A and B are shown apart, each in its own frame.
Chain A
């Protein structure tokens, strides 16, 4: 296809709007399989942007390809839970069947196979993305079939539908998931209270943000409402990238009315007229359904001008896709991405409530937070606050995955103990639980009496279970790899420190660590925690610190000596010269025995 014609058409469809740059690049890649330099040049010309800026944005997002990629672009979800379900062997098998190497594009340009961070299918993994579409429940048979379909050049639309089926995954329903919801009902209740009354009801509820930080939602809304500027914005953060979290996937797929109504409730409280959903690229499978819900809500007067006949209550919602960048879950990075830029977190203050999207007062709320607002509107803040604990009101959706009989989404009142969750999901012989994802906390057995609550164990929703067969070092190692892959690279400690940490853990994994490496790791952790620009860097040490504190023997048994060990294999480092010279004499080798000094 002619590159320039494609660019003209795609840019035209996106309204020649530079804030939609990421959306343009995603749409272009759908057509061209990758983003060739000529396409970058053409996009820049069409939008009147510097080419370097377009190249900078295209290079930031890991689902966009700046080098030739296959017509089938397959990315295996690489969370620890996928690995536990055998994803690495399945990936190798597919590479073998398709005669290609992981991380490369086959020579005929047919397929490229690689990995990507957790795709949010922890309850039905191992999973992969093919051209952005999620395939779940991989097994040997499915991999064989995928290889045949790829080799046969079968269009994705003709692949077996069950490959793309994402099951509902709800295991425990509470007031949010268990109560039928009539679209518009919450809005009517909130409008009846008036904007101020509705804000007060939210304050009574004590609702705190479900993205993990736990900021009081009513306070955020009030601050946005009070901020100068007429063009306020509500953003739904659906960039659920925390490994092992998939509760927003369930809400978007099955409670979209509540999510959009929650956004509209936020607009009623703040006076916002513009809404965005920032949907992680991995959840593209819900996009069409979400658009349909938006259309329906517009048709019945729940979006648009004069919502529910209320003069001046104008609000509409637009969906933007992400393209593989965990850091965009950080609200200011998300806003940068929404503006069509690299997803680099901003300096705060100022905060988004005063200077957010395009400098306008903006509230950014998690999907679950917004959905919960409907409950508050319908039942009242006091009723909501009666559930949970005094400081953590309401219920919490937990995405349970890993070693348990019944993985899925569970709605529990805040304050539930880890042991109760383990009991209900059918976990046996549990060694550790990772609560809150890679950036969360690793709990050992003696802590299973602790409670899921902001005041005890806060969680953005992930609950990954590891039983006695698992190696705690490998858990931390997987998360450290994740952070190194997802660091945006803006600040020194995170850009370099996450890779240093990964290199050190790789060294331990190879069984050639020395005690000095543990000291190095602690020092890098300190830099990450203290000096990082945002939460990604400052929480990157969490799995390592928890691992070292709670499962230290698993680390120490990987040490080769109590002294210094080189990070690389000296004998292997002589390999290229041995090959070039054909030598194999004793002088052409370096033994290891000497090295422990």
Chain B
């Protein structure tokens, strides 16, 4: 047990060290986000992510903003399990028709005031899939979109910049 604890403690220090290489831009961006959130949301913003037909590339990068390098939560932005707890819906994918009602219901379940961010080229304009018998073609064809973050998929930095843009509105 002591051996185990020792391992955890020593490896724990490695984590701290590896948080060190932060991008300078990320740091200023993060502080800016924090300032905005403090003003508008009393220091906290809750995001519900909805995959409406993405290829899962966007999900991988949204996951990445929670890793120790970006750690978006330290700026008060966190992901929640229910739309009823959310301020922002982060929607990916060209909205497959099979997900259309699910997306609408998620939107309705989110309390006002709420914001919708379309993430990734598919969500923004249909991307590689476009509009067809199976896809609605863009999130804005289904629910009102307040902001878009392009990219296939957008990088974690682009995602953080995007959220700042939302708070700027």
Tell whether A and B belong to one assembly.
no
